[in-house]
A = this chain, B = another copy of it.
Amino acid sequence: MTTIKFMPQGINVEATTGASVLELAQKAGVGIRAECGGRGVCGSCRVMVEPLESFSPPSAREIEMLGDDLDKGWRLACHTKVLSAGTVIIPLATRPEQVIVLEESYGNLDITLKPAVRQLFLHVPEPTLDNPRADGERFLQTFKSHTKKLTNLEHDILMRLPNIIREEKGQVTATVWQERKILDLKSGYHELILGIAVDLGTTTMVVYLFNIRSGQLLGRASQLNPQTAYGSDVMTRIHYTSNTKGGSTQMRATVVRGLNQLISEVCDKAQVSTDNVVEVVLVGNTAMHHLCLGLDSRHLALAPYPPVWAEPLDLPAAAIGMAVHPAANLHLLPNKAGFVGADSMAVLLALEPYLQDELQLIIDFGTNGEIILANSQHQWACSTAAGPAFEGAQIRFGMRAQNGAIDKVEFIPESQEIRWETIGGEPPIGICGSGIIAVVAALRKAGILHDGGRFNSRINNDRLRHGAEGMEYVLAWPEETALGEAIVVTQGDVRQVQLGKAALAAGCRILLERAQAKQPDVVLMAGAFGSYIDPEAAKTIGLIPALTPEKIKVVGNAAGHGACLSLLNVDKRKEIALLAPKVDYIELSGESRFSEEFISSTALVPWGK
C-alpha cells in the first residue's frame, strides 16, 4: 500500500500498488473525465504525474497519443499504474462538468457548467496503404465517441486540416460548437476558451468575460452605449435609421465598435486574447437587438410593432463585425414582442418566477419599463414608456447617477426636515433618478405636496417658493451646491415623476387584473437603476404595491445575469426558447382599460389608498 495525492483538490488516497490512476480517482470521488470509459481511446483522462518513477512505464498507446509530452509528466490516467507514493495533477480540461456560483446577483445562482462550446483533445491516426482514408474521414472518425452529429467540415477548416493533423503526430485540439460545428482546430493540446455575455441597454452596455471551460468570471466592463450620440431613447434612434441612407449599418457599426472596445478592455485586463473568445451571448430590448444586428427597426415604431425576428438566433459574430474569434458564434435570446425583448427573457431566466408558486411582480426599470407578472402557472409581460424622469432626464436639475448627484433623500419627522446625500459625498450638482423619486416621496411625507401632485401653497416652509415656472421647492441652497445656485424641484419635475409612475403602475395593475390578483406576493425591482430606488419611497408615491419590506427585493442587473447563465449553460437557451412563446404579452396600446388606469394612477398615494 502507498499514498497518492490528487491536486489541485489536495486529496490523499491510499492506493494498492498496480491500481490505475483512473480507478483510484474514481474510488476516491476525485472528478476525472474518461469519455471512452478508460479504454485509452479518447485521451480525455490526461493527467500530470510526479515523480515519473512512481508510476508504471508508458504503454504503447500512451507513446502514440502523448509523444514528447510523456517526458513532461503527462500520462493517461486509465493506462497509468501506481508503483509508489506520488502526486497526480488533474488539469482543468480533465475535470468533469462543474457547478459554478455567480456572485452579486439574486435568483438562479448555482449553475451547472454546460457551455455551447467545448474542446476535445484528439488523436488522428495516420493513413495506411491498405486503407488510405482521407484526412477528413480519419479526423471525423476520432469524433465518433464524442458526437455523431459532426459529419461535415467547413471550407476554411478543410484548407488547414492536412497540416494541423500532421504537425504534432496527429494530436489536435478541436473547439466544437453545439457538437456539430468545428469553430477552431489547432495541433497539440490547448485549453483556453472564453465567452462573453453582453447586456446591451439603451443607455448602458455591460460586458462579462468568462472562462467557459471553468465557468470563472474573468472580468466585467461597462460604458455608455455609443448609440446615445444618435438619441437617448429608442424611438429617436429608430427614426434616425429610417430617415438616413445606410442608417441601420451606421447604427450597427456604432454599437459594435463600442462592444469591441469593451471586449478588448476586459480581455486586456484579464491578460487573455480576444481571439480565444469563441462565443458571445447578447441580450437587449427588441430595438437594441435589431439595431445591433443591423436589422430594419422601422416597423418597431409603427403599430402593431412587429419585430423582424423574435426567435432565438445564432449567427457568426463576425457577420456584425465583432472582433472576437473569426468563427465565434453570437447567440441572441428570443424577443417576445416589439417592446418586450431578449433582455426581459433574460430577466425571466435569472429570476425563474416560472418555477415558483408565489406570484412575482418584476419591474425592470429603464428608459422603457418592462413589467413581468409570473408564477409557475402563468406569465404575463408588458412594456410601458416609463418616460425619462427615472433616468434624470427632463427634470430641471436632473442628471445621471454619478458623483455629485443627490441620490438619497429622507424626511425626518422629528425635525420636519428633508435631508439629502450625494454620490461620493461631494457638493451636489443635480438630482439623479433614484433621488427624484426619493425627494417626491419626502415632499409627500412632509405634506408639502398634495395627493394630486400640486405643491401645498398654504404650508409655511421657507424652502417653498415661487419660481420662474411656478411653485418650486429648494432642496439645496446656493451655498451648499457646487453650482453656486440653488437646486430646486419644480412643479414640472413632479409632473414628470407622476407621468412615469402612472405608466408603470397602470401597467402593473393591468397585469394584475389579467391574473385576477389584487396584489403580487413579491415585488422584484430589477435593472441597474432599479437597484438604487428606495423601496420605501417607491411605495410612498404608489410606484409599487405596498407590500411589507421583506416582500420587496432589489435584484440587480437580472438581464445581464440571465445573459451569463445562457452563456454558461446551453440548456438555459432551450428553457427560454420554450418559455418565451408561452408568455402572455399584453400590448398596452391595444388595451382599452389602460387610459383609465393611467389617469387613476397619477395620484401620489400608496396602492390601495
- With a cutoff of 8 Å between Cβ atoms, the chain B residues found around residue A133 in the complex are 306, 310
Contact with B along A300-316 (1 / 0, CB 8 A): 00011111111101111
Interface-facing stretch out of A151-159, A375-383, A404-412, A598-606: A151-159
Whether A570 sits at the interface, judged by CB under 8 Å, is no
> What is the minimal beta-carbon distance from A578 to any residue of chain B, in angstroms?
14
In contact, B162 and A132 (Cβ under 8 angstroms): no
Cα–Cα distance between A308 and B132 once the two chains are bound (Å): 11
With contacts A155-B293, A319-B155 taken as known, whether A308 is within 8 angstroms of B136 at the C-beta atoms is yes
- Quick one: closest B residue to A585, CB to CB? B132
With contacts A293-B155, A310-B134 taken as known, whether A162 is within 8 angstroms of B299 at the C-beta atoms is yes
- Quick one: closest B residue to A130, CB to CB? B590
Whether A163 sits at the interface, judged by CB under 8 Å, is yes
In contact, B308 and A161 (Cβ under 8 angstroms): yes
In contact, B158 and A295 (Cβ under 8 angstroms): yes
Q: Which of B137, B293, B313, B314 contacts A311 (CB 8 A)?
A: B137
Whether A512 sits at the interface, judged by CB under 8 Å, is no
In contact, A136 and B311 (Cβ under 8 angstroms): yes
Whether A298 sits at the interface, judged by CB under 8 Å, is yes
Whether A296 sits at the interface, judged by CB under 8 Å, is yes
Whether A584 sits at the interface, judged by CB under 8 Å, is no
In contact, A590 and B129 (Cβ under 8 angstroms): yes
Whether A265 sits at the interface, judged by CB under 8 Å, is no
> What is the minimal beta-carbon distance from A143 to any residue of chain B, in angstroms?
14
Whether A335 sits at the interface, judged by CB under 8 Å, is yes
With contacts A335-B134, A338-B132 taken as known, whether A158 is within 8 angstroms of B590 at the C-beta atoms is no
- With a cutoff of 8 Å between Cβ atoms, the chain B residues found around residue A161 in the complex are 296, 308-309
In contact, A307 and B135 (Cβ under 8 angstroms): yes
- Quick one: closest B residue to A299, CB to CB? B162
- With a cutoff of 8 Å between Cβ atoms, the chain B residues found around residue A589 in the complex are 129
- Quick one: closest B residue to A248, CB to CB? B159
In contact, B304 and A127 (Cβ under 8 angstroms): yes
In contact, B306 and A132 (Cβ under 8 angstroms): yes
- With a cutoff of 8 Å between Cβ atoms, the chain B residues found around residue A314 in the complex are 152
Whether A294 sits at the interface, judged by CB under 8 Å, is yes
- With a cutoff of 8 Å between Cβ atoms, the chain B residues found around residue A159 in the complex are 248, 293-296
- With a cutoff of 8 Å between Cβ atoms, the chain B residues found around residue A136 in the complex are 307-311
> What is the minimal beta-carbon distance from A554 to any residue of chain B, in angstroms?
32
In contact, B293 and A135 (Cβ under 8 angstroms): no
Whether A128 sits at the interface, judged by CB under 8 Å, is yes
Contact with B along A455-490 (1 / 0, CB 8 A): 000000000000000000000000000000000000
- Quick one: closest B residue to A138, CB to CB? B306
In contact, A155 and B590 (Cβ under 8 angstroms): no
Cα–Cα distance between A590 and B128 once the two chains are bound (Å): 10
Whether A587 sits at the interface, judged by CB under 8 Å, is yes
Whether A22 sits at the interface, judged by CB under 8 Å, is no
- Quick one: closest B residue to A589, CB to CB? B129
In contact, B137 and A310 (Cβ under 8 angstroms): yes
In contact, B127 and A306 (Cβ under 8 angstroms): yes
- With a cutoff of 8 Å between Cβ atoms, the chain B residues found around residue A307 in the complex are 134-136
Whether A345 sits at the interface, judged by CB under 8 Å, is no
A-B CB contact pairs (8 Å), 10 listed: A129-B587, A129-B589, A134-B306, A134-B307, A135-B299, A152-B314, A155-B320, A159-B248, A161-B296, A162-B296
A residues in contact (CB < 8 Å) with B:
127-130, 132-138, 151-156, 158-159, 161-163, 248, 293-296, 298-299, 303-311, 313-316, 319-320, 335, 337-338, 587, 589-590
Seed contacts A152-B314, A155-B316; 4 additional CB < 8 Å A-B pairs: A127-B306, A130-B590, A132-B306, A134-B311
